[in-house]
Amino acid sequence: MQYINDSLAGKKILITGGAGFIGSNLALYFQKYHQAKVVVFDSFRSEKTFSNGHFKSLGHFKNLLDFKGEVIVGDITKKEDLARLESYGFDYIFHQAAISDTTVMDQEAVLRANVNAFKDLLDLSVRTNAVMIYASSAGVYGNSPAPNSIGSGEIPENVYGFSKLMMDNLMQKYLACYPNLTIVGLRYFNVYGEKEVYKGKTASMILQLGLQALSSKKVRLFKMGEQKRDFVYIEDVIQANVKAMESKKSGVYNVGSGMARSYNAIVECLKTDLGDFAVEYIDNPYSFFQEHTEANIVLTKEFLGYTPRFSLEVGIKKYLGEIKAIHASGLWDEVVTL
Ligand SMILES: NC(=O)c1ccc[n+]([C@@H]2O[C@H](COP(=O)([O-])OP(=O)(O)OC[C@H]3O[C@@H](n4cnc5c(N)ncnc54)[C@H](O)[C@@H]3O)[C@@H](O)[C@H]2O)c1
């Protein structure tokens, strides 16, 4: 579905992290519905891993097989790589590149990639007067009580959430210095949907539970599965990004479905299509585990014109075709054992 009327003919769009889950969906959205020139900038997957065994960057060329725009391989933490972007004169920057893995404990690496690089990209947007739309996160709310609203309970519990809060603070400083610049931060909640498979173990619980159900007719949940999250389908996240291009007001906005749903509810949605399967409830080994997140989206509706279109039921139903194909191809085992 096309979210804004502007054809964007003659416009230049940069998508950092464009080989990742959300970035690649965004790149293919613009290719399908608009005439802008789209450039993807991403470090792509290398063999480098963090101490938790996960890949340092999760972008994958297969997310971009249908992409006809330009691809630049580069690292946002390297000034010489960012220098490649200087001559384009971008009109819009969608900044998705980040260490997106919330379990990475290397504070230096997370803050360098997520905060320092954002400052360099903000400077680029100042120089070319580009609209900057960047990915923040519900991680900024830590374990604060839901519903989560902009400006309250911003107490991150890990360095990832802290890095996103620092990005949001930096954005406010730039807005104070450059009031004519448009900068929109989007605090995504739990995003799920097509093209997330290459995130492996950091992919959504919807993908992971769907694959467990398909392969072993049993899923495992932390007791008693009633922890609630705001799960938001990828198409709604794309909608928020695209509508942010015509935002009535710079600032930071929550992007969720606006409804908290439990892990048990995911199981019920999966059973509707896959038939019955067993649920094993296991002890939760994590002392810190969010019990309840829910995006307050009043401001997102008012200033971005955002209206989520996918309930958990409808989102999962739409996504199940890809989940079944991933299962049938054996791709998941390949991704997680690499
Ligand atoms: N998926 C979610 O549920 C969710 C929730 C909240 C926030 N976010 C944020 O949304 C953005 C996109 O997330 P995603 O789910 O698509 O994750 P992703 O890991 O699939 O995408 C991130 C992309 O950035 C690239 N990248 C990482 N480090 C880089 C570097 N130094 N230089 C260049 N490219 C680099 C990766 O290769 C990858 O393609 C991230 O900023 C993430 O923190 C995602």
Is the Cβ–Cβ distance between 162 and 63 less than 8 Å? no
Is the Cβ–Cβ distance between 98 and 43 less than 8 Å? no
How far is the centre of ligand 1, averaged over its atoms, from the C-alpha of 42 (Å)? 10
Query: 312-329 vs 263-274: helix axis angle to the nearest 10?
Result: 60
Q: How, if at all, do strands 190-192 and 183-188 pair?
A: unpaired
Q: What is the pTM of this model?
A: 0.98
Rg (CA), the chain: 19
Whether ligand 1 lies within 6 angstroms of the CB of 293 is answered as no
How far is the centre of ligand 1, averaged over its atoms, from the C-alpha of 185 (Å)? 14
Q: Could you tell me the two tokens for 221?
A: 């949940």
Whether ligand 1 lies within 6 angstroms of the CB of 64 is answered as no
Q: Which of 15, 22, 207 to mutate to test the pocket of ligand 1 (most atoms within 8 A of CB)?
A: 22
Q: Residues 102-131: pLDDT tens digits?
A: 989 999 999 999 999 999 999 999 999 999
The DSSP secondary structure of 105-148, one letter per residue, reads --HHHHHIIIIIHHHHHHHHHHHHT-EEEEEEEGGGGTTPPSSB
Q: Residues 56-73: pLDDT tens digits?
A: 889 999 999 999 999 999
> For ligand 1, what atom is nearest to the CA of residue 60?
39
Residues with Cβ within 8 Å of residue 144, at least 6 apart in sequence: 152, 153, 154, 155
How far is the centre of ligand 1, averaged over its atoms, from the C-alpha of 217 (Å)? 31
Whether ligand 1 lies within 6 angstroms of the CB of 76 is answered as yes
Tell me which DSSP letter residue 86 carries: G
How far is the centre of ligand 1, averaged over its atoms, from the C-alpha of 80 (Å)? 21
Whether ligand 1 lies within 6 angstroms of the CB of 98 is answered as yes
Tell me which DSSP letter residue 72 carries: E
Query: 263-274 vs 205-216: helix axis angle to the nearest 10?
Result: 50
Q: What is the pLDDT along the chain (338 residues), one digit of tens a residue?
A: 999 999 999 999 999 999 999 999 999 999 999 999 999 999 999 888 888 888 888 999 999 999 999 999 999 999 999 999 999 999 999 999 999 999 899 999 999 999 999 999 999 999 999 999 999 999 999 999 999 999 999 999 999 999 999 999 999 999 999 999 999 999 999 999 999 999 999 999 999 999 999 999 999 999 999 999 999 999 999 999 999 999 999 999 999 999 999 999 999 999 999 999 999 999 998 776 778 999 999 999 999 999 999 999 999 999 999 999 999 999 999 898 75
